[in-house]
Amino acid sequence: MKYFWIQLVLIVGSLSLALMFIRRWDRANTRAWKRIAFSFFVLVNIYAVLRPTDVTWFAKQLGVGRGTDLVLYVMVLGMGFLTLNTFLRFRSLEKKLTDLARTVAISEGVRSNDERLAPEVLESSESVKA
């Protein structure tokens, strides 16, 4: 039971990663939560720099030997979130780009094909072309 709390933290973190992947992640309120988490992260950072021994104390409470190890674990989770967030962001951007490019391609294509192919149809139907 020594590692119970840190195991709980890491497992909950991993599960929320999975949840983030199957849920839509670009809604306004999830964005707000991401901002709250980021502000919290900054505050904890400042605190940890000012009182490093407290981090070790907190790590011990969770069952982790040193503060450094706790920071490492949290960083791994943070990296996971960051990677996933970037991936989802890129995918939604790619979809938008595709839709945009397709719309441009088709409207442009309709215009130029009408111009390019219409005279040919006329010519061949009247057998003007030798």
Partner 1 sequence: MTPPLSHLGEAVNDYHDTWLVIPAYNEGQVIADVVEAARKTFPNIVVVDDGSSDDTAKHVAQTGAHLVRHPVNLGQGAALQTGLKYALEQPTAQYFATFDADGQHQTADVEKMVELLRTSEVDVVLGSRFIEQNGQVPWIKRVVLRTAAAVSPTARKLKLTDAHNGLRVLNREAAGRLQITMNGMAHASEIVGFLAGSELKVAEVPVDILYTEYSRAKGQSLINGVNILFDISLRERGRR
Of the ranges 37-45, 50-58, 69-77, 90-98, which one interacts with partner 1 (CB under 8 A)?
90-98
Q: Which is nearer to partner 1, 61 or 86 (CB)?
A: 86
Q: Which amino acid is at 57?
A: W
Does residue 26 belong to the site contacting partner 1 (CB under 8 A)? no
Closest CA to 37 of 10, 56, 13: 13
DSSP letter at 129 equals -
Closest CA to 41 of 16, 75, 7, 73: 75
Q: Which is nearer to partner 1, 54 or 123 (CB)?
A: 123
Q: Alpha carbon of 90 to those of 22, 79, 98: distances in Å?
A: 16, 16, 12
63 contacts 2 by C-beta, under 8 angstroms: yes
> How is the chain split among helix, strand and coil, in percent rounded to 5?
85, 0, 15
Output the smallest distance, CB 87 to partner 1, in A: 8
Among the listed residues 11, 104, 118, 122, the single contact to partner 1 using CB under 8 A: 104
Among the listed residues 8, 43, 93, 105, the single contact to partner 1 using CB under 8 A: 105
Does residue 115 belong to the site contacting partner 1 (CB under 8 A)? no
Binding site for partner 1 (CB under 8 A): 21-22, 88, 91, 94-95, 97-98, 101-102, 104-106, 108-110, 112-113, 116-117, 120, 124-125, 127, 129
